[in-house]
Structure 1
Amino acid sequence: MKGTTFNHFERCRLRDLTKTHLGRLLATVVLATTLASPTVADINLVFGTYAADKPTATVKKYKSFLHYLGQEMTSILGERVKIRMKIAKDYETGIDHLANGIVDFARFGPASYISVRDRNNGVQIIAMESIGGKKRFKGIIAVHAESSFQTLSDLKRQSFAFGDQLSTIGRYLAQSHLIDAGVTSHELSGYDYLERHDRVGAAVGAGRFTAGALKQSTFDEMVEAGVPIKILYEFENVTKPWIAASDMGPEIRDAMRKAMLNTTDPAILSDIANDGFLDGSDADYDFIREAIRHSKMF
């Protein structure tokens, strides 16, 4: 039997039909592949904190570590993690941001952690900062370098500079220890809240207040810079927690915790937590809760 023959018109039509069929087949394959293997989006996280010191110093403090943390989480999760920073103008705004999920995680002082947990008990501690392998460090009540005062009770009828009204060291713990020394707001000649630790140190050094409460690291920096202040009294504080918002997925939270707990390089940690991080729990902050209650007597 002889093979079928096609004239020129039939051959062109067959060729066009073949091209159309192949085109449709290719489009179907591409669509199926796309549906089966969707493009993986970046994991974009927002880190929140408030400016306890100058905002420019706050940005400088966190920038390198957050970049490193994103890289480590990328390695753990197998997806690119990008972290940007959102600095609140004050403690209350920072607390709002985490409680309402505007930021994904944050580094707060203990009193701010307690406040945000009271508002949203779904937030969780990722890790706590370590100082010498411990969860405690010192707060300072400072006076002018030429002051003759020796004890907290000497501050009766004197003026006092506090930090932010929600500050652990700058308000609650300082007021609790003043109360124990018999010094309440009624015994002081005056007091004010200056919002930031560096402002407290500067005000005491300038003689505008007799004494003030600030954290150890800011005190050390200001003394090194020549601000004339010295220690009158030291008291214990618990280290800062890093806190996940209530809607952060457990896989992301666990990856962040793993990255933080495994970080030991001093060059990476120098501006954040010189001795790395430790596991933490809500119970670590119970004595701060007691100080907050006690300070109501101030």
Structure 2
Amino acid sequence: RIRELARPKKPKAAWENYKWGNQETIWPLSPSALTARPTPRIMSLAKPKQNVDGNLQRRRLYLYSCGRVSEIWQCPPRVNVALPLPRTLKLAEPKKYQAAYFQRRPRSSPEWLVSTAALTCEASQRVLELAHPKLVHPDFLLDRKAETQITGTARKILALPRTQRLAQPKSRKNTLCYDRGRPECMIRPVPSAAQQAVASARTLALAKAKGVSPEYLPVRDTEWLVTKAAKRAVVTPRIEVLSQPCKRLTTNLAQFDPDAFLVKESAKKAVCSSRLQKLAQPIER
């Protein structure tokens, strides 16, 4: 079963003579499909969508400034002359009411009928108070005109040198990047007042480095110094016994000693079953 499944699948007869790049179909078409005639519905769906102007359809409405006086993009003349499609006219028609809606409608006219009691009733004082329009705040000021009228004398006045100097924008130097100077020079310019300043007692106390814990031990050297007493020491018998490695029996003793495993006579005379012989054979790959 495994050898049968391992064989590659045979290609179909329709694919044997197929060549990439030709105009032949991959799947063979039946004679009925070749001689079939499409329905009118399929013919209408097969017609491409009418495209008046592809570039015109991709434009946004704000280019023509709809509702404004000026336009950003000049509208082409054929847009105003072009007639809508029948499909567009059909979709532009308003939705008609159904007959069931008119049957369940309580009135025949869109105007509501007002009862006689509602026409002859007198409004209460609260209703008349709520009917008054909201008054404008006394501190409200109307919007001023955008254009300010400049007098002729203001136009003829010459600005003072002080006014012209104040009218100039303030120049700010970029303090993020400084010109590279000598290596011994400072990165940022330090004013003379900061160089002559004297630090207070609190600043000096904060400037001190954090001390090391009294229990801290420095890192020892890689080479340890052995004392003379350690060099003259004599090993005791107990230390010699403990220093010997632990002996462990290896699981593959037959590799070193063929007689490590003893086989019984009954095991030598035993006959393997057909099942064991079949399992003992190597697997074919």
What TM-score range do you get, normalising by the shorter chain? under 0.3
Which one has a larger percent helix, Structure 1 or Structure 2? Answer: 1
> What TM-score results when the alignment is normalised by the length of structure 1?
0.13
